[in-house]
Amino acid sequence: MTYKTKRTLIAYAFLSPAIIYFIVYFFWPIAVEFWASFRDGQPLIGESTFIGFRNYARILSDQLAIKAIKATLIYAIGSVVFTLVIALGLSALLVGPVRAKNTIRAILFFPYIISFVISALMWRAILDPYTGLLNAALVSLGLPQQFWLVNPDTAIWTLVGVSVWKDIGYAVLIYIAAIQGIPAHLYEAARMDGARRHHLFRDITLPLLMPTTLFLAVVIMIGSLQEMALPYLLTQGGPANATRLYSLHVFETAFQGLDIGYASALSFAMFMLILFITWVQFKLLHRDIKHV
Amino acid sequence: MLKSILKCSAATFLAAGVIATSASAEDIRVYFNAGHGYDTYLKVFEEFEEANPGFHVAFERYQWPDLRTKLVADFAAGNPPDLVAEPGAWVPEFAQQGLLYNLNDYVARDQAEFDYPGDWQDVSVEKNTVDGSYYGVQIHLTCATLLYNVDMLKAAGYDKPPTNWEEFREVAKATTKNGVFGFAPNAAGGYIMPWIYQNGGQFYDAETGKIAMGSDAAAGAIQFVADLIHKDHSAPVPVTGADYEGPQRLFTAGRAAMIITGPWDINPIRTGNPNLNWAVAPSLKEVEQGTLQGGVSLMVPKDAKHPEQAWDLIKRLTAVDVEVATSLQYSMTMPRKSWLESPEVQADPILGQFGACLPYSRDATLAMRQAGKYKPAIDEVINGAIDEVLYSNKPAAEVMAKAQDEANALIDNE
């Protein structure tokens, strides 16, 4: 055995636990799900028959699925836009001379590390229209009571708000790191040319943060497209299915409806969408940003 | 140093030995609802273990949706538990898919000592029978009826609870004040069914094989509740969430004069506010008297490793003395005829009122499940439509007719 072959075998021996892990817990379930998505009956728990692409075609006529897709897109796009805009503003402030900025950063990051269950219970208590803290505060200020989660028109936006609250700390952390990585000489040169603070932000900070923004947009978008915990714990998809996000629909189709073949098709369709978004991410992030 | 290491090692080996001994006992895996881990049942498990040396009851408790998720995952993995509690609709569903153990042989063998189905209310046997075979045994049989705050009604000039819709509306308006609602409706779709039954409606028409939630009776009932919320302002918009305890909490806190609920809320009210002066009334009557029926059954998965022991546990858990002890301690109503006849139950005013609503209570989807036409997506469509009426104040007749067509399309597509 040559030295090179020996080194290769040793490398594979060290890699084998990871390879086995990925095969067993990642590729195999995807393969099983793909197989189940072409079957009717009980593909994983009983008898089933091959039905070709009928489960995939069914998605187009499933009113609940279409409603779930719409709600998920509103949730995902809303979460991305609000998180990025607010996080960018906060980061720009927090890199400047602000008092207690480390404490503020810690407070902003805190929601990110709280479990979804605790977050949901906390927000349920805050948002309850009759006993919640938020309405109590509004009423004490002479403002009208709001039906945050029990009004079909506001429920999804309330969910977006909770999501932004949870993710903002992470986005701020990444943005601050990125802002601090921008070469100082660019700002100095611009200042010498007479640029003001808002010009520096608009013409230097913002363009140079584009890769970070794209990265955060894609990560938050993917997380939001897969979101299930918040609607499950806060609203159970209601009222009037207004917060029935796609993952919740898939989960209920599989476990409440026992329609496992169709649920597999639904989740595989989502998998393909996320794969597409990841591909877009790679395409966009591969563009080099040069600091001239 | 060496001595202490040896001591530690010895202790570790000893502990490992103890663990190994307890692990060597055969586990009887039992899945139950988190709220039903009553002391009386834990005592039954202890007695079972004493009578069956070498067996240990591994008692796992989950909320219903999580229990179902776990069970389905277990079915998929080919490793189901030995005994499972279910919330009243899973037996026909799972039995029709060949996932449950047929209990006929056990029932026939133990007929002399365990009078099943003879001592059970007919409806509870019907729920657990599929194609003439027994696949489950009811352990709780419940119904939802009217609970009212006696002091609030008295303060508003009423000595008795309402008996029909007109009286109900009047009392609800009269008891509504700043921060107090006359009635607190529940967000769960099933809680609308008492109103629909009382108006002469039903969820599913077994004769036509169609969903009947768009009928005048059903839409009229939903509109009545919506009007209590949006026209009279005597009821709050129900709060959605992972649990359905909102109305009970408002009632317990003295912020709602009336709620409609089942015996599961008795103890939370009693412990939450021991000074609350409240009572249970018969269900309302409009066209007829009617209400929602619920309950829990026990079932044995077909691939259970210990079906014989699971059956033994079923017999012990549903023994009359256990049922009576459980209902007296936890205010739960039971399916056995001899339970209803027992003097202790007859003497309890609250249990008696709940027991009295059992005969006219109905299971909304039983007929549809037995016909093999039930799909959770139908619930989603109907509940979504009810939400549109209750939350967005859209006209019930229009919304429910549309939802009925959508739900029937789901049945037809099958």
Is A63 in contact with B381 (Cβ distance < 8 A)? yes
- Contact assessment for residue B324 and residue B339, using Cβ atoms and an 8 Å cutoff: yes
- State the nearest Cα–Cα gap between A102 and chain B, in angstroms: 36
Reference A182, options A200, A159, A205; nearest CA is A205
Structure tokens belonging to residue B109: 């063998």
B225 to chain A, any CB pair closer than 8 A? The answer is: no
Is A252 in contact with B376 (Cβ distance < 8 A)? yes
CB-based contacts of A35, cutoff 8 Å, min separation 6: A43
Inform me whether the pLDDT recorded for A76 exceeds 80: yes
What average pLDDT score do residues A1-30 get? 92
Residue A149: per-residue pLDDT: 87
Structure tokens belonging to residue B284: 């309302």
Structure tokens belonging to residue B43: 């005592």
Reference B354, options B305, B299, B283, B285; nearest CA is B283
pLDDT-derived band at A98, boundaries 50, 70, 90: confident
Residue B326: per-residue pLDDT: 94
Across chain A, where does the E strand assignment appear? 39-41, 48-50
- Contact assessment for residue B260 and residue B133, using Cβ atoms and an 8 Å cutoff: no
Q: Which residue did the predictor score with more confidence, A194 or B319?
A: B319
Residue B290: per-residue pLDDT: 94
Is B97 in contact with A232 (Cβ distance < 8 A)? no
> Helices in A52-154 by DSSP H: which ranges?
54-61, 63-94, 101-113, 116-127, 133-140
Beta bridge partners, A50, equal A39
CA dihedral B402, B406, B408, B410 (to 10 degrees): -170
In terms of Cβ atoms closer than 10 Å to its own Cβ (0-12, 13-18, 19+), residue B400 is buried
Structure tokens belonging to residue B387: 């939400």
Percentage, residues of chain A above pLDDT 70: 97
Residue B200: per-residue pLDDT: 96
Reference B220, options B403, B388, B407, B397; nearest CA is B397
Residue B20: per-residue pLDDT: 45
pLDDT, mean of each 10-residue run, chain B (414 residues): 47 47 75 92 96 95 91 91 92 91 96 93 91 95 95 96 97 93 88 96 93 96 96 87 77 94 90 94 95 94 96 97 93 91 86 86 87 84 91 94 93 75
Residue A285: per-residue pLDDT: 63
pTM of the predicted protein model: 0.81
Is A256 in contact with B65 (Cβ distance < 8 A)? yes
Residue B23: per-residue pLDDT: 47
Residue A101: per-residue pLDDT: 84
What average pLDDT score do residues A165-175 get? 94
- Contact assessment for residue B334 and residue B121, using Cβ atoms and an 8 Å cutoff: no
Residue B243: per-residue pLDDT: 63
**Cis status of the peptide bond prior to B117, with omega within 30 of 0:** yes
Per CATH, which fold does A58-290 belong to? Answer: MetI-like fold (1.10.3720)
A152 contact residues in B (CB cutoff 8 A): 387-388, 391-392
What average pLDDT score do residues A157-164 get? 95
CB-based contacts of A258, cutoff 8 Å, min separation 6: A42, A45, B72, B93, B97
Inform me whether the pLDDT recorded for A280 exceeds 90: no
- Residue among A42, A64, A240 whose CB faces B97 most closely: A42
Q: How far is CA B366 from CA B125, B336, B373, in A?
A: 12, 19, 10
Q: Which residue did the predictor score with more confidence, A272 or B11?
A: A272
- Residue among B240, B376, B384 whose CB faces A150 most closely: B240
- Contact assessment for residue A239 and residue B380, using Cβ atoms and an 8 Å cutoff: no
Residue B57: per-residue pLDDT: 96
Q: How far apart are CA B326 and CA B144, in angstroms?
A: 19
Q: How far is CA B341 from CA A198, B85, B317, B323, B347, in A?
A: 82, 25, 18, 12, 10
